[in-house]
């Protein structure tokens, strides 16, 4: 009987620590947004979307809504006031040391160019704007 109880308790702890892949109660992880509003994208943003899906979505998720490996970029922290387009370029070319969340570091993205990241940034801005995140006019 004690063994059984112990088993149940350990099972419970396991669920506490490892349960629910996208745990929105954990402040170290950004929430995974399942229903990002996708607007009618501009031509430029559509090219950015393709590049994003190839290079970034594995961690930043479908429609930049986040995954267990990286934060949603459709998030107010990444508005252009906090993270201008140059922050996107820097992130992709030199990588990012974990500082906002508990996902770990972002590695530099092999072979990506500044021009490509600017297309991706345009895509992210159009998503942000459609989802109620303030984007400055001069960033669009
Ligand atoms: C292997 C996973 C991974 C990939 C691939 C990835 N990222 Fe990231 N990225 C992260 C993580 C994790 C963070 C959060 C680091 C932190 O602040 O804790 C991050 C943060 C960022 C940030 C915020 C930088 C800052 O200054 O705080 C930007 C912008 C960004 N990523 C853009 C991109 C773009 C654009 C791509 C594709 C070209 C990309 N990421 C690909 C994991 C990834």
Ligand 1 proximity of 103 Cβ (cutoff 6 Å) = yes
Q: Does 105 have pLDDT greater than 50?
A: yes
Q: What pLDDT sits at residue 50? A: 98
- Extract long-range pairs of 19-27: CB within 8 Å, 24+ residues apart: 21/68, 22/68, 26/102
**C-alpha closest to that of 37 among 134, 140, 121, 126:** 126
In angstroms, what is the span from residue 88 Cα to ligand 1's centroid?
A: 8
Count Cβ neighbours within 10 Å for each residue of 111-138 and write b for 16 or more, e otherwise: ebeeebbbbbbbbbbbbbbbbebebeee
Instruction: Quote the CA–CA distance of 32 and 66 in Å, as a whole number.
Output: 5
96 Cβ partners below 8 Å, 6+ apart? Answer: 105, 106
Q: What pLDDT sits at residue 68? A: 95
Q: Does 93 have pLDDT greater than 60?
A: yes
Per the rule left: phi > 0, alpha: psi between -120 and 50, beta: everything else, 57 is alpha
Confidence of residue 1 (pLDDT cuts 50, 70, 90): low
> What atom in ligand 1 is closest to the CA of residue 98?
18
Q: Which of 60, 98, 110, 120 to mutate to test the pocket of ligand 1 (most atoms within 8 A of CB)?
A: 60
């Amino acid at each position: 009987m004690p063994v059984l109880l112990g088993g149940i308790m350990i099972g419970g702890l396991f669920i506490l620590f490892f349960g629910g892949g996208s745990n929105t109660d954990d402040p170290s992880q950004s929430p995974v947004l399942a229903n990002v509003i996708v607007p009618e994208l501009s031509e430029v943003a559509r090219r950015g979307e393709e590049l994003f899906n190839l290079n970034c979505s594995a961690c930043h998720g479908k429609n930049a809504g986040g995954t267990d490996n990286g934060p949603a970029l459709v998030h107010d922290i990444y508005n252009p006031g906090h993270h201008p387009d140059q922050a996107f370029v820097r992130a992709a070319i030199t990588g990012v040391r974990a500082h906002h969340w508990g996902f770990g570091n972002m590695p530099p993205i092999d072979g990506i160019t500044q021009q490509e990241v600017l297309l991706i940034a345009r895509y992210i801005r159009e998503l942000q704007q459609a989802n109620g995140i303030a984007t400055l006019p001069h960033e669009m």
